[in-house]
């Protein structure tokens, strides 16, 4: 069940109505039932795996002690990672092992099999791991009620693609009675409408245009390839931030607050360091707290810190998927960040000779332009279906014979999407760090209802509320 489908909207309204009709002590069971039903709609076997992971995390959470139980913690984390490693990485590892052994004239002892990857397994596995680590660090007390803990991992808005919520934040809210508030219901619907606009008006339309280009880049003109290059980051942003808005809006209707997963104008970042502070925040903060900080705790050398940064972004790429394209994308981002950190003083000294004020609009514009294109070029390995397709895409970009003037007609289909992106950027500029409901609350009467009407017309006219999977479902 996709969060952008009509079925999900009816499902959410049913959950909402029954949730507030029940006394607080029964609400966890209703949310758990809703979460399990939601996950069951993807595949019945996925639900079994979720229940097993929940039981493992709950059981080890009761055994792990603060500042002790290192072996228990390692065992719990290892068991939680096993399903993820098997379902998501077995085929990739076995394929590469087969190729390596074949080079030496041997065959792999493991069967060739590509298991179906359960939706959201990377997200709820990371939530379960952070729960165990936080208990051992003394940040969190073990949850004694299995039902509440199961609800935390199976909370339906976050189950398929995050945000990766920390147990302390969400479990506390689940335990706290949430009375019906009209403002929460309205704010939730506003976020859902905004997320649907991003998803079905912009992201889905871009996906239809970009999928053929990335699948067969060798048959495209240079101008079409360049258009795909600059629009692909917006497709992924609108798709994933749209999902996050719908998820946060769904939770808000139930009186629960999820973390923000994206800065509103992260695509306008003037450095990749700034970009990664505002992109998929729940994942980047997870790797920061549970990988980078522990690895760097006793380090003093810059070289060691830079190596840890590369490790983190290698894992970030691998988390996204078991392909060399994702791994290359992660490593390229890590290398760029290391370069930004290592050359910061020299770059500032150089650019101050050109612009004494590094915050000058011209300097920020050029920095943003460079960083956006660098990110888009690295993102080809994320967006293209194979490394070979990514290579053909990049080769086509720099092939002089691909840039015929007659190919300009190939970019005309992108024009309607540009209008949607401009509308999104205008709203995001006005947000300026605020939530959308806060912005809309500052408008009254005609302006606010005009915005609602415009969103509805655009969604119904240019987009279709379908079961089209979100881009991050595959991760």
- Residues with catalytic roles: 320
Distance of CA 364 to the CA centre of its chain: 26
- Determine the Cα–Cα distance for residues 338 and 310; give it in Å rounded to an integer: 8
Contacts of 95 (CB under 8 A, 6+ apart): 112
Cα dihedral 178, 181, 183, 187 in deg (nearest 10): 50
CA distance 440 to 185: 14
Look at phi and psi of residue 69 and say left if phi exceeds 0, alpha if psi is from -120 to 50, else beta.
left
Q: What angle do CA 397, 401, 407 make, to 5 degrees?
A: 80
CA nearest to 473, candidates 320, 245, 317: 320
Residues 131 and 140: beta-carbon distance below 8 Å: yes
Beta carbons within 8 Å of 347's beta carbon, 6+ residues apart? none
H or E element at residue 171 = helix 167-175
DSSP characters over 443-469: --SHHHHHHHHHHHHHHHHH-----PP
Rounded Cα gap, residues 50 and 191, in angstroms: 28
Residue in the structure block whose two tokens are 């590094």? 358
Contacts of 117 (CB under 8 A, 6+ apart): 87, 88, 474
Measured CA angle at 315 (ends 35, 61), to 5 deg: 45
Q: Which residues lie closer than 8 Å to 473 by C-beta, 6 or more apart?
A: 119, 120, 160, 161
Task: Name the CA dihedral angle for 305, 311, 315, 317, rounded to a multiple of 10 degrees.
Answer: 90
468 token code pair: 């089209």
| Count of CB atoms situated within 10 Å of the CB of 188 | 23
Reading the block at residue 92, the tokens are 């990739």
DSSP per-residue letters across 385-437: SSHHHHHHHHHHHT-GGG--GGGGGGGGGGHHHHHHHHHHHHHHHHHTTS-HH
- Six token digits for residue 295: 């690895």
């Amino acid at each position: 069940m996709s969060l952008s489908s009509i079925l999900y909207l009816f499902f959410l309204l049913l959950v909402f109505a029954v949730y507030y009709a029940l006394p607080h002590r029964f609400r966890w069971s209703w949310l758990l039932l809703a979460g399990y039903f939601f996950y069951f709609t993807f595949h019945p076997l996925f639900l079994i795996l979720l229940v097993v992971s929940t039981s493992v995390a709950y059981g080890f959470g009761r055994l792990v002690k603060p500042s002790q139980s290192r072996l228990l913690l390692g065992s719990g984390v290892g068991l939680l990672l096993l399903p993820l490693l098997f379902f998501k990485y077995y085929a990739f590892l076995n394929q590469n092992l087969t190729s390596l052994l074949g080079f030496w004239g041997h065959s792999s002892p493991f069967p060739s099999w590509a298991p179906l990857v359960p939706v959201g397994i990377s997200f709820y596995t990371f939530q379960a791991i952070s729960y165990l680590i936080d208990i051992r660090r003394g940040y969190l007390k073990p949850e004694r009620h299995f039902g509440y803990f199961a609800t935390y991992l199976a909370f339906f808005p976050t189950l398929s693609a995050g945000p990766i919520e920390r147990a302390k934040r969400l479990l506390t809210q689940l335990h706290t009675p949430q009375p019906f508030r009209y403002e929460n219901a309205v704010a939730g619907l506003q976020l859902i409408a905004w997320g649907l606009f991003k998803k079905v008006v912009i992201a889905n339309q871009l996906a239809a245009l970009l999928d053929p280009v990335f699948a067969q880049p060798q048959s495209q003109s240079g101008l079409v390839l360049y258009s795909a290059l600059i629009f692909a980051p917006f497709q992924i942003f609108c798709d994933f931030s749209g999902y996050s808005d719908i998820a946060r809006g769904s939770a808000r209707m139930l009186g629960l607050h999820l973390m923000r997963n994206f800065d509103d104008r992260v695509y306008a970042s003037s450095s990749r360091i700034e970009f990664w502070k505002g992109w998929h925040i729940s994942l980047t903060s997870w790797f920061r707290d549970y990988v980078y900080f522990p690895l760097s705790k006793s380090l003093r050398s810059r070289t060691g810190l830079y190596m840890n940064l590369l490790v983190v972004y290698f894992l970030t790429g691998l988390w996204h998927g078991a392909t060399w394209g994702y791994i290359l994308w992660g490593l390229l981002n890590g290398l760029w960040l290391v370069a930004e950190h290592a050359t910061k003083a020299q770059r500032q000294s150089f650019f101050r000779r050109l612009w004494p004020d590094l915050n000058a609009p011209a300097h920020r514009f050029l920095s943003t332009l460079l960083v956006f294109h660098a990110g888009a070029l690295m993102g080809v390995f994320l967006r293209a279906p194979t490394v070979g397709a990514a290579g053909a895409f990049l080769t086509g970009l720099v092939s002089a014979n691909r840039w015929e003037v007659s190919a300009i007609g190939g970019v005309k289909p992108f024009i309607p999407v540009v209008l949607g992106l401009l509308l999104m950027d205008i709203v995001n500029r006005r947000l300026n760090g605020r939530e959308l409901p806060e912005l809309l609350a500052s408008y009254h009467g005609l302006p606010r209802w005009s915005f609602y009407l415009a969103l509805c017309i655009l969604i119904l006219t240019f987009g279709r509320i379908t079961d089209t999977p979100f881009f991050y479902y595959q991760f």
